[in-house]
Structure 1
Amino acid sequence: MKALCWHGKQDIRCDEVPDPKIEHPRDAIIKVTSCAICGSDLHLYDGFMPGMESGDVMGHEFMGEVVEVGAENKKLKVGDRVVVPFTICCGECDQCRRGYFSVCERSNRNKSVADKVFGHTTAGLFGYTHLTGGYAGGQAEYVRVPYADVAPVKVPSNLTDEQVLFLGDIFPTGWQAVVQCDIEPTDTVAIWGCGPVGQFCIRSAVLLGAKQVIAIDRVPERLAMAKAGGAVTIDFDNESVVERLNDLTQGKGPEKCIDAVGLEAHAGGTIDAMVDRAKQAVMLETDRPHVLREMMYVCRPAGVISVPGVYGGVLDKIPFGMAMNKGLTIRTGQTHVNRWTDDLLKRIAEGEIDPTFVITHRAKLSDGPELYKTFRDKQDGCIKVVLQP
């Protein structure tokens, strides 16, 4: 079969690889009908995440048709149409029973490595380094899904792939980021980053009743999409984020702040951003935390900081005293996808939101390597890429 494979920094190729096979009685094999390039895939593309090996199959946002099921899988049958969450969960461990699916205790088959790096393992993830299990990803013609009697979400035939594809990652990721903020009707929610996750954060904040939503970016197409979704926008290349946020909140600061950027933050010509890039280049720090610093500074005292953006390692010069003295609550984490999918699928089916708004590029799987570069460099108005194997 064909699959997009990682061969090093900025080296993604469409390779011929072996077809997946049932390895456990709870498995299923999915014929992929649609998959997507996610912003967090770019951290792999740019070489910032440890644990990748040459030939690893990329992708964690995919859906398709069940073509084979293991003998113990009573949930799925051949022909079912499913979206597959990016988090692999067993459904039986203490964390899964509590609904903390992204920190499943059993699905990371490289648990011993994750224990050493993180202190305790997190869940296995599709197409996202050997630190999270080394599972083949979904930017491929077929995928083996472990514990397939737990996470896959069956979808009705009257909804298109594009309407439901993002239930596997970016829609619940944006939703969880906002739910973690405990939105109140008087709240201003500021969102850094208007990529795909940021766009779903914006629409989730509006749906959950925030008084005002502010979106921060510098890419015109992303800012235009954010504005169309109900946000007041700030172009950080041409405006002071701090001054504008103070103007928009009568000097009090936003009650809720969301980092939808993660480890590759840009910040115009600020001193801390230039120092971060220099330190990252010589491996004195792994991630660029400008957004985290800025959120801690501008957030209203007793506010909430929510971090769906992916970080991979060691950050420098985090003003934790600022966060402590202001009484800020910080909530982070990979998404507990299955906690949200029933509700979000219903909202899609009832027309409350149409997730297709975020798609700007549609292409064949073989076009993926070039579109990784287009997406990374924000060329051609690229915000979200959907591929069809």
Structure 2
Amino acid sequence: MKALCWHGKGDIRCDTVPDPKLEGPRDAIIKVTACAICGSDLHPYDGYMPTMESGDIMGHETMGEVVEVGSEVSNLKVGDRIVIPFNIACGECFFCQKQLFSLCDRSNPNAKLAAEAMGHSPSGLFGYSHMLGGYAGGQAEYLRVPFADVGHLKVPDAIPNEQALFLSDIFPTGYMAAENAEIEPGDTVAIWGCGPVGQFAIQSAWMFGAGRVIAIDNVPERLEMARTHGRAEIINFDEVKVFDQLQEMTKGRGPDRCIDAVGAEAHAGGSVDSVLDKAKAAMFLGTDRAHVLREAIMCCRKGGTLSVPGVYIGFLDKVPFGALMNKGLTVRTGQTHTHRYLQPLLEKVVSGEIDPSFVITHRAGLEEGPDLYKTFRDKQDGCIKVVMNPNG
């Protein structure tokens, strides 16, 4: 089959690789009908994600048609059309029973490796390093789905692929980010990053009753999408100092809730901390550029909440923990417990409350994937979200 494979920093290739096979009784194989490039895919693409190996298949936003099921998968049959959560969960362990699916204790076969870096291992993830399981990703013609009996959402025939695909990751991620922000009716919510997760965080903030949503970025087409489709007030951080602007917009109080939808690869013009972060990354003295996290801590009102769906990888420095503590901020983070949100968010799509396809700007086949990784990373050609049909 064809698949997009990682071969080093900035090197994604469309390779021919062996077809996946069932490896356990709870597995399924799907023929991939739609997949996407996620902002999180840029971390391995840019060389910041450790334990990647040459030939690893990329991708974790995937849906498709079931072509084979294991002997213990009784709730799927050949021909079913399903969305696959980006994280892998057994459905039975202590954490899965608490619906903390991204913390599953059984789905990462390399848990010891992850625990060395994090203290404990999160769940396995599709296409996202050997530290997180070494699972083949979904930017391919076919995908093996472990724990398929719990790791799927059946899609109604009336819902097209482009409305269903983002239930695999970015819609639940934006929604959980807004939920974690503990938004109360009328709150002012500031969201850093107007990429796809940020766009869904904007939509979700309104669902939770926000009174104002302020979106922060420097890419014109992203800001325009946030303004027009997201009904957000916008700040271009290339034009104004974000802290000063937010202070002015909130009469000196600061936003009630802040969401960091950027994560490890923040850009912040010529700010001193971002220049230092970039220099350290270039010299392999650090991985994460945490400018947004620092800025959100400083901007958030006293007693407010900071929600962090943006992915961080390693150790951060220059984090104003004194401000965090003395302002009495609540911080909530985590990979998305995707399984928890599949059915409720599907119902919002079916009802017409939201059409998630609004973020799509580029449609392609797998062969165009390597070039589109660069286009997406470099924010060229108005690229906000890439969707591919590997079998189209």
The bucket for the TM-score relative to the shorter chain is over 0.9
Partner of 2:215: 215
CA–CA distance in structure 2, aligned partners of residues 308 and 161 of structure 1: 25
C-alpha displacement of 1:283: 2.2
Query: 1:27 touches 1:145 (CA, 8 Å); kept in 2?
Result: yes
1:30–1:64 CA contact under 8 A, matched in 2: yes
Partner of 2:380: 379
Correspondence 1:141 to 2:141: yes
Question: Which residue is 2:173 aligned to?
Answer: 173
- The alpha-carbon deviation at position 177 of structure 1 amounts to 0.3
How far residue 247 of structure 1 moved from its aligned partner, in angstroms, is 1.4
Cα distance in 2 for residues equivalent to 1:119 and 1:332: 16
For the residues of structure 2 that align with 1:208 and 1:328, how far apart are their CA atoms?
A: 20
2:158 aligned residue: 158
Output the CA distance in 2 between the equivalents of 1:56 and 1:172.
25
Aligned length: 389
Aligned residue in 1 for 2:256? 255
The alpha carbon displacement at 1:186 in A equals 2.5
Q: How does 1:228-243 map to 2 (within 5 A)?
A: 228=228, 229-243=230-244
**Whole-Å separation in 1 of the counterparts to 2:28 and 2:138:** 13
The secondary structure found in structure 2 opposite 1:182 is coil
Q: Equivalent residue for 1:345?
A: 346
Q: Report Cα offsets for 1:144-198 as digits up to 9, x if no partner.
A: 0000000200010000000010000000000000001111112100000000000
Separation (CA, whole Å) in 2 of partners of 1:101 and 1:55: 28
SS of structure 2 residue aligned to 1:115: helix
TM-score (norm 2): 0.99
Q: Distance in 2 between matches of 1:341 and 1:70?
A: 22
Deviations 1:320-359 (A, max 9, x none): 0110010000111100001111110000000000001000
Aligned letter for 2:367? S
Aligned residue in 2 for 1:273: 274
Deviation at residue 281 of structure 1 after TM alignment: 1.2
What residue ranges of structure 2 are gaps of 5+ in the alignment? none
Q: Equivalent residue for 2:38? A: 38
Distance 2:116 2:286 in 1: 19
2:336 equivalent in structure 1: 335
Deviations 1:43-88 (A, max 9, x none): 1100001010000000000100000000111111100000000010
Q: SS of the residue aligned with 1:22?
A: coil
Deviation of 1:112 after TM superposition, in Å, equals 1.4
CA contact (8 A) 1:272 1:290 kept: yes
Identity level (%): 66
Q: Show the counterpart of 1:120.
A: 120
Separation in structure 2 between the aligned mates of residue 87 and residue 93 of structure 1, nearest angstrom:
15
Opposite residue 192 of structure 1, the aligned amino acid is W
Matched, 1:289 2:290: yes
- What is the one-letter code of the residue matched to 2:91? G
> What's 1:73 paired with?
73
TM-superposed deviation, 1:218:
0.3
Asked if structure 2 preserves the Cα contact closer than 8 Å seen for 1:61 and 1:84, the reply is yes
Match of 1:60 in 2: 60
C-alpha displacement of 1:284: 2.2
What secondary structure sits across from 1:13 in the alignment? strand
How many Å separate the matches in 1 of 2:122 and 2:34? 27
Quick one: distance in 2 between partners of 1:98 and 1:258?
24
**Match for residue 369 of structure 2?**
368
Q: Distance in 2 between matches of 1:148 and 1:54?
A: 27
Cα offset, 1:248, TM superposition: 1.2
Partners of 1:354 and 1:248 in 2: how far apart?
Answer: 30
Q: What amino acid sits opposite 1:340 in the alignment?
A: Y
Structure 1: gaps spanning 5 or more residues: none
Describe the SS at the equivalent of 1:132.
coil
| Cα distance in 2, alignment partners of residues 137 and 286 from structure 1 | 23
Say if 2:22 and 2:28, in contact at 8 Å, map to a contact too.
yes
Deviation at 1:316, TM superposition (A): 1.1
- TM-score between the two structures when normalised by the length of structure 1: 0.99
Q: Deviations over 1:268-316 (max 9, x none)?
A: 1111111111111112221000001101101001100000000110111
Structure-2 separation of matches of 1:88 and 1:276:
32
Secondary structure (helix, strand or coil) at the match of 1:3 reads strand
In the alignment, is the contact (CA less than 8 A) between 2:145 and 2:151 conserved in 1? no
Which residue type is aligned with residue 182 of structure 1?
E
Range moving further from structure 2, 238-247 or 255-264? 238-247
Q: Give the Cα–Cα distance (whole angstroms) in 1 for the partners of residues 179 and 137 of structure 2.
A: 28
In the other structure, the counterpart of 2:24 is: 24
Tell me the C-alpha RMSD between the 2 structures.
Answer: 0.6
Instruction: Work out the CA distance in 2 between the residues paired with 1:343 and 1:71.
Output: 29
SS in 1 for 2:14: strand
Task: Report the Cα distance in structure 2 between the residues aligned to 1:386 and 1:379, rounded to whole angstroms.
Answer: 16
Which digits, 9 at most, give the CA deviation of each residue in 1:132-154, with x for residues without a partner? 00000000000000000002000
Q: Residue type matched to 1:77 in 2?
A: K
